[in-house]
Each structure stands twice: as C-alpha cells, then as structure tokens.
Structure 1
Amino acid sequence: MSEITRRKFLPGMAMLPLAGKLLAHADDQPPALRKFAPRLSGREMMRQRYFPNFELITQEGKKVRFYDDLLKDKIVILQMMYADCQGVCPTITANLKRVQKLLKEEITQDVHICSLTTKPEQDTPAKLKEYAKMHGIEDKNWLFLTGDPMEMDRLRHSIGFADPNPEIDKDKLRHSGMIRYGNEPMAIWGTCQGSGKPEWIAQEIGFAIPRNLKRHPKINE
C-alpha cells in the first residue's frame, strides 16, 4: 500500500515535511492583501485552528493547558477514552503501552500520550487515576485528562474525534477507535487505527519523527 493511502489525517491537515508549505498559496493573493496580511507558519495556523488552549485536569489533579503544556514542542499521541469503557478502550490502552515501549527503543525523544475522557461528567481525576493504575500505567509522560464537559466536547471536535451525524456523535464509544499522533514543532499530524498491531502503530507514528531522532535511521524510510 502506498505511503499516502496508508496515512489518514486530521481534517484539513497534511503530512508535510515543512510546515511553511501550508502557506504556499499565500503568494497568489493580490499584493495589497499580502502587504497587510501577517504570514503565519503552518505550526501557528494549526495551533489556532485545531488546538484550543483549554484548561484540563490530570489524573493527579494537576491543572494543565492543552496546547501550552501537552502539545507544544512535543511528539504526542492523543487517545479518546472513558474509564468505564468495556469496548475498545482497554485494548487501545494496552496497545499504547506496547507502542510507548517500542518508541522508547527506537527514538531519542520522549513520546507523550494524552488520554482524554469523552465522559468528563463522570471521569474525575481519582477515577482516571484508578484506571491508569488498573492498566499498570505509571509513566510520567502518559496523562489521563478530564475537564469542563463543554470544553472537553469542543476539544474532541476540534482535534477530529467527531462524527458529522449528531445521533452517531452521541455514542462516545465511536470516538475511541482511532488515535491521533503528531510532531507539534514540525506541524506533522496523522491518525491511525488504535486497535491495530502495536508494531504497525509504532511504525505509523515513526513517519512523524525526523531522521535525526531515530536510533535506527533506516526505519520507515
């Protein structure tokens, strides 16, 4: 399967080697518009469009900002889940444990995982902490997050875990099958099936990691 068909992307996002290419069309604007329009980097455009800087709460009760604390300057995996999920959530959580281990062996930079609840009304920090403990997750770079219900729902839609059909969108389990991954500084973002083999998931995420951070540079090339 070709590289372009293997990857799925956040709505409107392209897997680009240089974030600045997002603005390639800007030079087609009339000179009068170019004179007054500020030139934003692809990274900044993505931040403004997709990453609201909402305040969230970790499983330890710590307040953090979605962009400033969880995404900025990081390689990150985003998962939607909820603590009482008996469907795909535990499977994907187990897969991500293996993925995290594989990536630690292959790259020199930390990979951060953010597990965001789709049911903030019931998933308190204590409940998320118990979920993490039940699954043997103690890594400081893996956070389970809750927050204001309205903001959590807006965040879910903003990062692409939503269905255009409102009735389908109400089913929280439907948003738990995919994961998002990204290299925030390079503005590279993609998505893949979270229930796939961990080795395959790790390989997919490898496409967002520059060669100089890989212990084995030929991987994914």
Structure 2
Amino acid sequence: MKSLEWMVMGACFWAFSAVAMAHEDHEQAAPAATPAVAAAQPATGTRDAKTWFTDTPLQDQNGNTLRFYSDALQNRVVLLNVIFTSCNDACPLITRKLKEVREVLGDKADGITFISLTSDPLRDTPAVLKAYTLKQGVDGPHWLFLTGDKAQMDLVLGRIGQIVPTPEQHSTQLIVGDVANKRWSKIRPDAPAAAIAQRLQLLTMPVVER
C-alpha cells in the first residue's frame, strides 16, 4: 500500500478526537473558523485497515453477530457515530438528524451504511438497541446499531478515536468514509442534513485516477 493512500487511521481519525465535540458540551457553538464539514488530511505511512479497525465481533440490533471490519466496514461508504440509548439530549437529536440525512439521500441512501456504536454496552443490549431504533423510526437494513461486551466496545471505540471513561463522555462528531478508497471526513453534528448528505454522495462517486 502506498503511503499516500494513508491507511493510517491512527493519524487521521485521532486528529478527529482532538477536535471532536464532547457529549456534555454538544450545544456549545464551535469556533467560526471550524468548518461544519472538513476533509481529513492524508498522513504518512501505511496501515492495513482490517488490522487497524479490527474484526472484533459485535452484535447488531437484531442480535446478529458481525465482524466490525469485514461485515460492517469493508468496501462500503459509511457514516459512524456514537450514541447511548438512555441519553435524553444529544443522542436522539443526532439520530433524528441522521434520519433526515437518509431522507435527503432518497434512493441513494441504500448504498450508504450508517453505523451507530453504543458507548454504554452494559445497558445497551441488542434488544435495547432494537427498541431504540423502533422508537426513533430508524430500524432498517442499512443502519447498524452495534454493541458488544465492554472490552470489545472499548477496543472498537478506541480505534475510531473514542476513549470514553463514561457513556456521556463520547464525542458527537460524525465520521464518514469511503472505506475501499480510503477517503475520510469528519463532520460536526450540527451541520445541515443536506451538507452531510452531499458529503456522503461525494464519497460514492468513483475515484478519478491522476
């Protein structure tokens, strides 16, 4: 793998965690200089994506076991975010925003996988996640809500820059990526639904060789 292909997720995402908004201050305005949608910058070096993200087995809202990289990420255009179902403020608001994004995408939404990872795996069992998706009206084949035991979730969340001592301390930042072509962006959750949808649509476009 060439270095300009930057599969070094540690150097791109883990810049994300430094600028991501914490859950407890999600309502505070970001500095004016920070764009709502920003492309991640290439990093030097290489890293195998499967090794980096890990193939940790997790469970979706239907109780199915999925390997994180091979079954949830590989060869997909994805949007990743972190939630916990007992949250009464940011999480349901962001879930509703993402539902709106899928509505804006229309028939193109089927080509994009949303992945919501719980920061509270001890309480967010598959059954609890299923109830949350039904309540929010977001239960569908192209939106995965993933959980596991605490060690599994800590590993996966850590690989996307989310070290969360408590469920409330997760970042509300959105991460979107074209996994196959190693193109990633970070998006503030207060970005307009149309802007988030546009970024995702750009990631579905073929890469032009130079």
The TM-score, its normalising length taken from structure 2, stands at 0.74
Larger radius of gyration: 1
Letter of the aligned partner of 2:165 in structure 1?
Answer: K
CA contact (8 A) 2:50 2:70 kept: no
Q: Distance in 2 between matches of 1:177 and 1:63?
A: 25
Distance of aligned partners of 1:133 and 1:120 in 2 relative to their CA distance in 1, 3 Å threshold: same
CA contact (8 A) 2:79 2:175 kept: yes
> 2:156 maps to which residue?
155
| Count of aligned positions | 176
Is the partner of 1:129 in helix, strand or coil?
A: helix
Is the partner of 1:194 in helix, strand or coil?
A: coil
* Superposition deviation, residue 161 in structure 1: 2.2
> 1:53 maps to which residue?
55
CA contact (8 A) 2:102 2:109 kept: no
Matched, 1:208 2:208: no
Letter of the aligned partner of 1:111 in structure 2?
Answer: I
Distance of aligned partners of 1:128 and 1:184 in 2 relative to their CA distance in 1, 3 Å threshold: same
* Superposition deviation, residue 200 in structure 1: 1.9
* Superposition deviation, residue 104 in structure 1: 3.5
> 1:188 maps to which residue?
183
* Superposition deviation, residue 6 in structure 1: 4.7
* Superposition deviation, residue 109 in structure 1: 6.1
* Superposition deviation, residue 108 in structure 1: 8.0
* Superposition deviation, residue 5 in structure 1: 9.2
Letter of the aligned partner of 2:86 in structure 1?
Answer: D
Given candidates 166, 171, 175, the residue that maps to 2:170 is 175
Q: CA RMSD in A?
A: 2.8
1:107-146 matches, within 5 Å, as 107=108, 110-146=111-147
Given candidates 42, 47, 60, the residue that maps to 1:14 is 42
Q: Distance in 2 between matches of 1:145 and 1:188?
A: 23
Letter of the aligned partner of 2:174 in structure 1?
Answer: I
Letter of the aligned partner of 1:46 in structure 2?
Answer: A
Letter of the aligned partner of 1:102 in structure 2?
Answer: V
* Superposition deviation, residue 148 in structure 1: 1.5
Q: Distance in 2 between matches of 1:53 and 1:114?
A: 15
* Superposition deviation, residue 154 in structure 1: 1.6
Given candidates 99, 113, 119, the residue that maps to 1:97 is 99
Q: Distance in 2 between matches of 1:155 and 1:89?
A: 19
* Superposition deviation, residue 155 in structure 1: 1.0
Is the partner of 1:208 in helix, strand or coil?
A: helix
Letter of the aligned partner of 2:62 in structure 1?
Answer: E
